[in-house]
Amino acid sequence: MLPRSIYTEEHLLFKEALEDLVNQIIVPHNEQWEKDKMVSRESWQQLGENGYLVMQAPEEYGGLGLTDFRYNALFTEVIGLTGCAGPAVGYPLHNDIVAPYVLHYGTEAAKKKWVPKMISGEAILAVAMTEPGAGSDLQGMRTTAEDKGDHYLVNGSKTFITNGYLSDLVVTAVKTDPSKGAKGISLLLMEADAEGFTKGKPFDKIGLHAQDTCELFFDNVKVPKENLLGQEGKGFSYLMTELAQERLVVAIGAIAAAEAALKTTIQYTKERRAFKKSISEFQNTRFKLAELASEVALNRVFVDRCVELHCEKKLDGGMASAAKLMTTELQCKVADECVQLHGGYGYIWEYSVARAYADARVQRIYAGTNEIMKELIARKILK
């Protein structure tokens, strides 16, 4: 791997300390979490106690005030490199995808109530956009929030919600004025203990078995006006503003997962013998690994550059979409080729490469499908 000049010695010390913690509190428990269909609440609290949740939160709310996104990027990378895909999705979503909505658009009352709990791991975050009849088409959502004076009355449902079952606070996209299309969308903070708010059981998914993805249902849920994020009718705009970072986070996780699968497979080919020699000595194996290593290295450099641009506030939506598109496509390719190089063992669940294969596929779907990424990139280059 090429030297990574965007990270200082301080960043690398941070990464080393995090690796030690992750190997203690995440890796040994992942197999059980996959059976439970969710990570433990204790793991959230342990990350919070050690200062790894919502690191960017201001000190006035109990945060570290680390506005350098490189720390967040390394957090996502380190967990991605473990191969524990459920945790690698849920924790970064809390930190870098949902928390910014609360920090950027929440009322002072809402921030004082929730940000300390977000930092400690007491409150687990989720974001609810997708509906049974509206995936990438956010304007087609049907969940409504009727203005009742001092509160909103919310009715509808959401699906495929990451961290959904464990969630304590959900940033929820609703229609406050269904007649206005995108300009009628608002964002509300939905508290999980609100009357009328219920959750479905975690889905049985192809992969991400430790991730508690589920449906959410709202039946006449009363939401206080202070739980409105920003201005009414600005929700779609807020979502578009934050999506660049969301897609970058997915890209960081994707390239880390590809690196992890490749590393495991290189070691396996050295140890596995056939026809009286290791399979790493066969030309086909060597050429396949050479191709994959080259593509992974190229994408790693691209992702690091995107992180650098994001820190400089220069990462645009088109570039973030390109990062998400290329890294998730590569992640799936690497996982598939690594299964092939493992032979029959690559199809056995106890081998990490089998998990990597199953976990990779959804990456091309969520945070905007890769077909949508292509459309967004095309708009950028053809405008």
Q: Which are the catalytic amino acids?
A: 246
Q: Which one-letter DSSP state was computed for residue 362?
A: G
Rounded to whole angstroms, the Cα distance separating 208 from 217 reads: 22
Contact 264, 352 (CB under 8 A): yes
Taking each continuous run of H as one helix and of E as one strand, the counts in the chain are: 12, 10
- DSSP track, 94-118: IIIIIHHHHHHH--HHHHHHHHHHH
DSSP E strands in 214-257: the ranges are 214-224, 228-229
- Secondary structure, 3-state, 68-91: CHHHHHHHHHHHHHCCCHHHHHHH
| Surface-to-core class of residue 271, CB atoms within 10 Å of its CB (0-12 exposed, 13-18 middle, 19+ buried) | exposed
The H or E element spanning position 309 is: helix 283-311
Give residue for tokens 């690497």.
Answer: 334
Structure tokens that stand for 283 in this block: 């030309």
Rounded to whole angstroms, the Cα distance separating 304 from 306 reads: 5
Rounded to whole angstroms, the Cα distance separating 268 from 248 reads: 30
- DSSP track, 199-224: EPPPP--SS-TTS--EEEEEEEEEEE
Residue type (1 letter), 118: M
Structure tokens that stand for 5 in this block: 């000049």
Phi-psi region of 96 (alpha: psi -120 to 50; beta: other; left: phi over 0): alpha
